[in-house]
Structure 1
């Protein structure tokens, strides 16, 4: 025998249905027809069976189908079982599978068919009472099916709400992950450039301790300035992390800032040739910012992996509405051919490729002519100057 666990709410519902069955039997007792020849003892026996049927309502959760079948069969002879039978049939229709409900409904239909066959021979009062009984049972089945459909609808809506909440949480987590990746790329690009300058000058001081005092002072000044700028950039990134949705916006570098970037790298002792950028209206901000980051990362890698190499930076407006960016470095002095490549983990180049793809372009990087080349193209849609002037 399986154990049924009832909550306080279940006990309240069971007791409420027990009281309903008992009250229904009490209210309808005066309208139940009893044959004169049966005597008063028959009504007493009928009431006793009705009381037992009301008590059996408490078993509706354990054996709902069998209880309904027993009460329906006994209800054809015991008139006080109408209330308990209604409760049992409602339980089956509201909680049991469709097949069980169909079998109980078939039993009721069979009893109704027998009633229709015998109705011409029944007294009028008994025929009316039986017709009322079947109408109540049919209405109870309909109410149980309605309650089952309502519960299924509520469960479906609750499941949809949970799925929508989980989907919203997943989208929020994806957005947070993208934001973290964007911040990681920004910190890598900005701080990597500054710290590489520090490394170059600190290495120069370490290996050329006998250099003239003026050169040592100049290198120390560059180190101090680079450290100051690195701390400033770090504070700006942390400010973005701490700021709200509309706060912490800091100006982003664009294509015209390439000249300043190359000047900083030259001040660190690098031999860099810059060609471009084109002297025309600036490209869209995302294109200019991406081009700036490509050159910045390429210069940082060249300082780390090919110190002392010559670097050529070319930025030009290419055909088919494209901005082309190319950074090439020769092998470092005294190294074997092919030593100017990127020996790091490649995370910077991977981030650049992703950044370029998001901007709608393409990036390639690899050894070239004994050194290393980073080349990319970015979309730069042409602007119809005549139509723009007309809009103004």
Structure 2
């Protein structure tokens, strides 16, 4: 009988020790899969928050850093129009919008406060927080915190004064047309949203700071960035193209934290798998000394004994992987069904973030688990293969 078939027979006998090792492997991988799914779900939430909630878009076209030192930190009107034309002509582009950051002082006459605002186009994504009213050129949307500070409500009037270097600023009157919540957004979220032309007027300029691009397929973001970079170069436009990850400082911090957390959980999971495999193979080899000695006396070579115990570890890992995949899928399905049922009965509350399964990380975890199982079995398998026949049969 081949070493592989002997190993499979030993595993299928279902000894308590072997079953326990398989369950440890399955539980460790299932926990790792669900944690990876949590990270993937959290990343999707961060992407939505940055791209839609904070209006960063998937890509942002800005003046190259080197040009900023030459006194032209923004695009002039012709350059902005040419960039929009190039970007809108590309396949896979859903929306191209100009944006302008503006800061300064907001005053109601009784109260004053600093603000960090954003000039946006009227056709911004509908699901983004903060709505401007079409036809109201001086209509602004104010965050709940800013409105509370200034005592504003819908219909209130406020005077805005922009702050810009080397530019003459003048106060402009604005009307509050919407008060939006910034809960769930990062601390970098703007507190005042205004029409793009109003932001230009506050800074006394006709230039455009950046042009934001929304894609139909976010997964193709890097490919689209390369295509857009080449198209702009052919059009004679010198510009940097930044992804939403590069624009969001909070995402960079949270992504780094998530990677460290995943590495720690993965290390503990694989350590548990290695310990379970090593202990099981060692005890099996010790208890089956007579069996191994008999096989050796019947002509089995040392290499075949080694392969038998190594294959036994791989079979345990393979069965544990199958059990973990089934368990992970079942747990994710149950949690998602429960979450959707809860949100359906509480429609006024925010929808919960569903559990996702990261197939890339799951595949890497499976390959790593098989490799860890093989490495953990090497020492006990080698010791079992080196044992003498006479010593094993005594």
TM-score (norm 2): 0.23
Q: RCO higher in 1 or 2 (8 Å CA, sep ≥ 6)? A: 2
More helix by share: 1
Say which one has the larger Rg. 1
TM-score (norm 1): 0.23
More strand by share: 2
